[in-house]
A = this chain, B = another copy of it.
Amino acid sequence: MGGRARGVRRGGVGRHLIVEMYECDPLALDSVEAVKTALLDAAVASNSTVIGYEFYRFKPHGISGYVLIAESHISIHTWPELGYAAVDVFTCGEHTDPWKGLDMLKERFKARKMTILEIVRGIGAEDYVGYWSPAGALTGARAVR
């Protein structure tokens, strides 16, 4: 696995979609296989690179899981008994499109209602004036802060 997709620029490091999915298909929300496949496919749809993932099914129902991508993460927590899922699609880099990942998830879970909040992460981070050496060795006295 190589370097991170960064795309640091004025205007933040990435886009984070905070998504409330209501009135979803409860069966899909309670199937580890369906949820896992949906999130992995969403990673591909958003043009992200999968690093790892983990999914867990609660008893008696509900699933939590995430896909760690080189460009940040996609996560989900489902309440099938409420037809509800808390979804986050957070991707960095100009080559990614979190909205395409979200389209995939909406389709798979058959969400009839959604609220979406798009947050640009890392605004102002590029103004950092601290010392940092890419080799990992910080310079001088500033190495100890």
Contacts and interface: CB of A to CB of B under 8 A. Distances in A.
A36 interface: no
A122 B6 contact: no
Contacts of A56: 1, 51-52, 68
Contacts of A25: 145
B13 A79 contact: yes
Given A51-B64, A56-B52, A79 B3 contact: no
A72 B68 contact: no
Interface in A97-122: 110, 117, 119, 121-122
Contacts of A145: 25, 110
A124 interface: yes
A79 B136 contact: no
Interface residues of A, number: 64
Given A59-B2, A64-B73, A125-B22, A90 B81 contact: no
Interface in A45-87: 51-52, 54, 56, 58-62, 64-66, 68, 70, 72-73, 75, 77, 79-84, 86
What 9 A-B pairs come out closest when comparing CB atoms? Answer: A84-B125, A4-B58, A82-B125, A82-B128, A83-B128, A81-B132, A83-B130, A86-B121, A26-B132
